[in-house]
Every structure is written in structure tokens, then in C-alpha cells.
Amino acid sequence: MAEKKKGSPGMTIFSPCRVAVAVSLAMVVLGGIGVAIWALVTYLSRTEDTGLYDVQVSSTDKRLRVFDSAQRRWRHICSSSADQLLASISCEEMGFVRVVNFSSIQQSNDHDFFCVKENELTYGKKISTVLYPCECETGEVLALTCQDCGRRSLTEERIVGGVDAKQGRWPWQVSLQYDGVHQCGGSIISDRWIVSAAHCFPERYRHVGRWRVILGSIYNNPTHKNVVIAEVQTVVYHSSYLPFVDPNVEDNSRDIAVLALTAPLQFTDYVQPVCLPTHGQRLVDGQMGTVTGWGNTGYYGALANILQEANVPIISDIVCNAPDYYDNQITTSMFCAGFEKGGIDACQGDSGGPFVTEDCLSKTRRYRLVGVVSWGTGCAMAKKPGVYTRVSRFLPWISTAMRTYEGNPGVHKMARV
């Protein structure tokens, strides 16, 4: 696809989330993808070291709590003048992008609390580093609600080798169109922001008013039912995406961009945001993920008319950097996913689209945007899997871009933060 441009408290191996993911992997195996046996064995053989993420919001009273790794206990957060900032940063840390509301509520009979070092609280820094055990003299703790994400409202269940997606199955998937022609995919992360790839915005495609976002449907044709058309106000791409600096450079690191819409989206059964990774979340070698898009169904094929989906396993960096794979071209800001024998892959036109995995880090099963379709050699070739931007490496960049360029029209470039 070189031209594709397309926690902390431990849980047992039989935790409900782990079993659910294992069942999903087993279904893929039974579906006829024999190579996925390796993925299943690899995934189940790993020690469960994530369990619940160490920052949580109670589903009943919305109180924020953080796991004290030293004392091995959960603590609620004592309310302070930094509540608004802490609420916003906490939601981002959990992958929820933004806070909906927050409040201070009377503490219960609990005796385990954290207080905040207010002058040290900042975006991009894990909140656990600015908390310390205290008695909570205010008598109130922080409660908050984050924007929901990564869940499908509907339960019904041409990527090369993929299958047609069902309506509403991937409600965060969008088509980015320039002058009415599909160019790239993207993922909804909030009611105003979309994540895509930097390489989708070369100089010839930087007239922001000529971009449109098509969402809410498995069809990328605006005449189809349920299709929503949104206008783009702002594009921000990573200024260190080197092919834009020197066309002869083959390093595709930092291939990421975000887009702001001119008006907020109305979420429906067919339009929903996907979660971002939690801060510090690691990819699991062998874990199955899903890539979706309207890209070519073969290297020399045409764009798909219906959204395609394909399940492929994450490949370790060591394997993907081997001489017969990509020979050390995979940097820390990328990862590979696919099968050794090929056959299933993203292709031209899938660029910028989502690679998602499912987890239970926030108690509820959610999909997270762990990868953005970036590059590769050919499409679905043996030992040439798809290469994806590793989203977890760019969480501070995404957060800063959204806060810096909110309401700032045009196309902008922003360096690493």
C-alpha cells in the first residue's frame, strides 16, 4: 500500500471482558480464518494486566475515582477549585474526549480520598501524578459525566477480502469527500471533531470549503437514506508528516489529522463517536481488530459501493520490521495488522479510516480508535500487511489541536506537543 495512502488492578484470565473478547476471536476462527488460531492463542496466553482502567466514573452516582496503586484501593477525588479542569482532563484520559457536566456532591461514608495538587494539573499528564491521599476537609467529592462513545445503538450485526457492513454497525465511520469525490475515511470522536490521516490533505486538497463529510450510512453517496452531510470548518494536520516536507522521504510517521465541523452533530442510531485509547493503553499483539472503509476491493479495483469491514490481528513490531516484511520501516508511531499470507487488507480509499478494537477498560464494552489507516505495500499481499498510525501516541497532539483550533477556520499544521 505504498501508494495506498489510504490499569492497573489485575484481573483473572477469565474476567468477563476477557472471555467476551476470546469468544469474538473464536467466532472469527470458526468463520474460516485459520490463521486467527495464532491470534487467539497469543491473546489468551498473555497475562491480563489491564483489567479496569485506573480512572473510573461510577455508573450510579457519577463519582470520579482513581486506583491507588501503592495501597491497592480505589479513592474518590476531593472537590476543589480545580474541579472543571480535572473533570475535563479525566474524561480525556479515559478516552472520552470531553466532559459533559460536573458537580461536587456530599461524600458518603467512604474514608479513602485523593486531593489534587492544583498547580500541577495539566492536559497530557496522567492525573494520578498530581493526586495524594487526604482526609477531604471540604466534605464533597467530584462527580462528572463524560461524552459516551464506542457503543453501537443497533445490535444487528471494499476492504480487500472484507464483507458488507450492516447499517449502523460502525456509526463513527465517515467518508471525506473533496468536490463530491470520496478521498479518505475518518472517525467521529465528538460532535464537532473527526480523526483522519495527514496524507489525505496534500497541498492540492487544502481548500477547506471544498471538503464535505458524509456520515450516518453504509453508503458514501449523499442520495442514500440516512446519509448526513456536514461541512468542514477546520483541518489540522501534523506538521512533522515528512512526505509533506520532502516528497522523496519514505518515512510515513506522524500520519494524523483532525477536522472540525461547522456545526455540531446530532447523535443518532447511525451517528455515534468512537472512543480514543486511554492514556498509556498498549496494543496487544495478536488481538483482533476491525478496519472499515469504502476503499478499493482490490489493488486495481474500484471503490466499494457499500462500507466494507474486515477483521485482522495486530502484528508485533518485531515481526513487521523483519527483512521479509517491512525491513525496519515501522516506527514507534505505527503498527501493523493483517495475516502473513495476506488476502485481507485495507487499500486505496480506506486511508484515514478507523482500525478499532473492543475492550472493557471502563466496565462497559466499548470500541476504541487504536489505529488510522496509513500506508503499506500493495493491498493484501503476503507479508505486507496494512500499516496504521498508532493513535495512542498522539493523544496529547489531538487534545491540543482541538483546544487550539476550535473555531479557527482554515487548514493548519501543528507540530508535536
**3-class DSSP state of 355:** strand
Contact of 369 with 149, CB cutoff 8 Å: no
Element (H, E) at 87: helix 83-93
The amino acid present at 329, given as its one-letter code, is Q
Give yes or no: 199 in active site. Answer: yes
Q: Report the alpha-carbon angle 14-19-21, nearest 5.
A: 140
Choose, from 76, 199, 238, 412, the residue flagged as catalytic: 199
Q: Rounded CA gap, 405 and 70, in Å?
A: 39
| Sequence-distant (≥ 6) Cβ neighbours of residue 129 within 8 angstroms | 120
Give yes or no: 412 in active site. Answer: no
- Cell numbers for 337, please give them: 495488522
- Other C-beta atoms closer than 10 Å to the C-beta of 257 total 29
Choose, from 255, 317, 345, 350, the residue flagged as catalytic: 255
Name the residue with cell 493526586: 131
Contact of 234 with 208, CB cutoff 8 Å: yes
The amino acid present at 92, given as its one-letter code, is E
Give yes or no: 255 in active site. Answer: yes
Point out which residues pair with 345 in neighbouring strands: 160
Q: What backbone torsions phi and psi does residue 120 show, to the nearest 5 degrees?
A: -105, -5
- Cell numbers for 161, please give them: 477480502
Choose, from 351, 362, 392, 399, the residue flagged as catalytic: 351
Q: Report the alpha-carbon angle 166-233-220, nearest 5.
A: 25
Closest CA to 315 of 278, 344, 284: 284
Q: Active-site residues: which are they?
A: 199, 255, 351
